[in-house]
Structure 1
C-alpha cells in the first residue's frame, strides 16, 4: 500500500507551524506561493472555508430573550427588534430603558434632517438676534406667593360660571401695574423714547412655525371677562392663522407664560421696540414661611427682562414689586363683581 505521506510537502516554516498548531495535514493543500509552495495564508484561507461550511450546516437555534412586559410593549409600539437590543437587567434581561435607548439611537440615525431657515422662523431669528445685540438685557426675578390668586380664580369662575385662565389674570395685573408705572410703558426707536398713553399687552403664542404675539389693546380699560374673551379669540385665531394685521400691532409690553409647560423660570427676550417683557413660570405647591410660621401654599417665579438703555434697575424692580403685590393681593385691583 502506498503511504499518503510519501509525496514530500513543499511548505514554508510558518505554514507548517500554523498547520501543526491546528492539527491540519498539509499533503492535500495546493500552495499559492512560488513554485506551488504552501504559505501561511493558504492555511488561514482553508480554516476559514471549513469554519464557514460548518456554520452553514449547523442548525440555528433562536435564543429566548428575557424581557420585561413594559419593554416588550414599547418594542412592539416602536417596531424595535429585541434581537438588536443589549439587555442591562439581571442575567441580560431587557428592560424598558434598553428599548428607549435603542429608539433614541434609531431616531438619531433616521430622523436627522437639515432645513434652511426661512419664512416666519427666519424673521423671528433675525428679530431675536437684533434684540439681544442692540438692547442690553437685564433680567430680574422674584418668587411670589400665588395662593390668593389661585383661590380668586376659582371663586370667580364659580360665581360667573365662565372659565378664565391665569394668562387672563396676568394681562389684567400687568395692565394695572403699567398704569401705575408709566416709565415701563415706553418704546425706543431710532434714539427716540416714546412714552405711551395706551396700554396694549402682547401675548406670546407658540405655533409650529414659530412665535406670534397677538395684542390685547387697551387692556387697562377692560374687565377681566372682556380680557378673557379677547385672549381666547386671538390665541385661537393665532393658532389657526386667521389673525389680522391690526391684531398684532402696537404692542407696548409682552407676556410670555410657560407655566403650562412646567417651566419654573426663564430669561425672556424683549420684543422690540418694547422695553420690557415678563416671563411667567408655573404655579407649584410650596412651603411658605410667614411670621416664623410654616404653611403650605402656592408659589411662582416672575422674570422681568428690560432694556437697560431705557430704564435702570430701580424702576424695573419697583414695577416687578407691584406685580408681586397684585398677585399676592388680587382683590386690590380685581373685583368678584367685575
Structure 2
C-alpha cells in the first residue's frame, strides 16, 4: 500500500511551510531518508525527507506553494498503486498515470465517428495525468498545429460551434516567427516567449532566443520566492501599517572599549561592541517599559521581560532570531546566545520557534561601513535600534580644548502610533548615558 509523506511541523508556532523546490520527480525510486524537497518556514530552510522506500507515485503540490503542516505532500509506494485517498482537497500536482490516455490521432478518430461537428472528446493527458476536455479540433487543424508546435486546444475556433479548423491554425502561424525544432519543443514545455525575429537563418527563432515571460532585455529575471518573498511582504506590511519615526544619536566609545579590554585583561570571556549594546538595551528597557511592547491596533501589549531580536545576515536573507527572557541573562550569557543563534541562522539549522516572539529588535550594519541608516520596524514591535559604524568626532573637554573621540551612531525607529517622540528620545538618552558611563553594568 502507498505511504503518504506529510509536511512536518517545524516548531509550535509554524502553521505552514513554503515548498520551494522538488528534488525528485514522479517515477523516481527513493529510499527512506532521501531528500524529496526543500521547504522553508517564515525564514529558515529545511530538507523534507522521505519516510518510506519505493517509487514516487505523486507530488501533490507545486514549487512555491504554501503548504499547511501535517498535509500530505507526496505518496511513495509501488508502481500502479492508487494514491487518490491521500490527495489533499483541491490539489492537482503530478501523479503517475494509472491508464494510458488516447493519442491526438485517436481523439480525431473518435471525433470523426461521432458527428461531422466534433463536440467534446477526450484529448491527450497533460503532465498532471488527468484528462482534459477539447472544444473540438478538426483533424487537418490538429496535424498542422502539431507540426508548428501550437496547442490547438487553447485556441478559440471559428468553425461550427467553436470548432478549431485549419484556417484558425494558419492565422496563428502567420503572426508568429519560424521556430527551430528545439525552440519549438522548449517553448511548449517551458512556456517561454518567442521574439518577433530570432538569430537563426532568415530570422528563425533558436532555443537560446526564447525568453521567460516578462523578461527585460539585458537583465536576468528570477522569481521572488521563499525567504525573499516573505521579507518583501513583511517590509511593505510594516511600512503600510505603522507610523515610523526615526531618532538619531551617538555615544562615545571610550569607556565601552576600556570595559572590553579590562575583561580580557582579567581573563574573562570576550564580548563585542554589539554585545555591550544589546546588554545596554536590555537594562534600559527596564527603565522605559513603553518601548518593550507590541502595538496591536486597539491594544498595546507591554512585556514584563525583554525578548531581544538580533538581526543576522545569512546567505538565505535577513533572519531575526530572538533571545527569549534576555532580561534574565548576564552580558556573558547574552553574548553566548547571540553567537549560538547567529551560527544556527547561517547554517540553516535555526528552529522556527527561535525566530518569533521578539519584543524589541537590534540591527547592526556598522561592520559593513554604514554610518547611519533608517531601520524598518519588525511589526508589531514598537521600536528597533540600528547601529552604524565608528565615526571620529570632535569633543570639547572640561578645559575647553577640543579632542577627537570614537563614537558610534544609533538610529531608533519607533511606531508613532504607540510611542511619542519625547519618550523615545528619553529612552535613547538613557541608553547613551549607560553605554558611555557604565557599559556592561
Please state which band the TM-score falls in when normalised by the shorter chain: 0.5 to 0.7
Name the SS of the counterpart of 1:211 in structure 2: strand
What does residue 250 of structure 1 align with? 357
| Whole-Å separation in 2 of the counterparts to 1:238 and 1:167 | 17
Matching of residue 222 in structure 1 with residue 329 in structure 2: yes
CA RMSD of aligned residues (A): 1.8
Matching of residue 162 in structure 1 with residue 269 in structure 2: yes
TM-score (norm 2): 0.49
The alpha-carbon deviation at position 201 of structure 1 amounts to: 0.6
Choose which of 369, 374, 382 in structure 2 pairs with 1:275: 382
Matching of residue 311 in structure 1 with residue 419 in structure 2: yes
Contact 1:168–1:228 at 8 Å: present in 2 too?
yes
The alpha-carbon deviation at position 190 of structure 1 amounts to: 4.1
| Whole-Å separation in 1 of the counterparts to 2:387 and 2:363 | 6
Contact 2:371–2:389 at 8 Å: present in 1 too?
yes
Alignment of 1:1-338 (within 5 A): 112-291=219-398, 292-331=400-439, 334=441
The alpha-carbon deviation at position 156 of structure 1 amounts to: 1.4
| Whole-Å separation in 1 of the counterparts to 2:297 and 2:250 | 35
| Whole-Å separation in 1 of the counterparts to 2:271 and 2:352 | 26
After superposition, the C-alpha distances for 1:273-296 in whole angstroms (9 at most, x for unaligned) are 100100001123332223322123
Name the SS of the counterpart of 2:318 in structure 1: coil
Answer with 187-196 or 254-263: which moved more.
187-196
Name the SS of the counterpart of 2:284 in structure 1: helix
The alpha-carbon deviation at position 186 of structure 1 amounts to: 1.0
Name the SS of the counterpart of 2:240 in structure 1: helix
After superposition, the C-alpha distances for 1:163-206 in whole angstroms (9 at most, x for unaligned) are 21111111100000100100111101242211111201100001
What does residue 109 of structure 2 align with? none
TM-score (norm 1): 0.64
| Higher relative contact order (Cα pairs below 8 Å, separated by 6+ residues) | 1
| Whole-Å separation in 2 of the counterparts to 1:160 and 1:222 | 20
Q: Which has the higher helix share?
A: 1
Contact 1:148–1:328 at 8 Å: present in 2 too?
yes
| Whole-Å separation in 2 of the counterparts to 1:172 and 1:111 | 48
Rg (Cα) greater in structure: 1
Contact 1:171–1:219 at 8 Å: present in 2 too?
no
The alpha-carbon deviation at position 116 of structure 1 amounts to: 1.2
Contact 2:321–2:354 at 8 Å: present in 1 too?
yes
Answer with 243-252 or 266-275: which moved more.
243-252
Name the SS of the counterpart of 1:142 in structure 2: strand
What does residue 33 of structure 2 align with? none
Contact 2:391–2:409 at 8 Å: present in 1 too?
no
The alpha-carbon deviation at position 209 of structure 1 amounts to: 2.5
What does residue 76 of structure 1 align with? none
Contact 1:257–1:280 at 8 Å: present in 2 too?
yes
| Whole-Å separation in 2 of the counterparts to 1:153 and 1:285 | 19
The alpha-carbon deviation at position 249 of structure 1 amounts to: 2.2
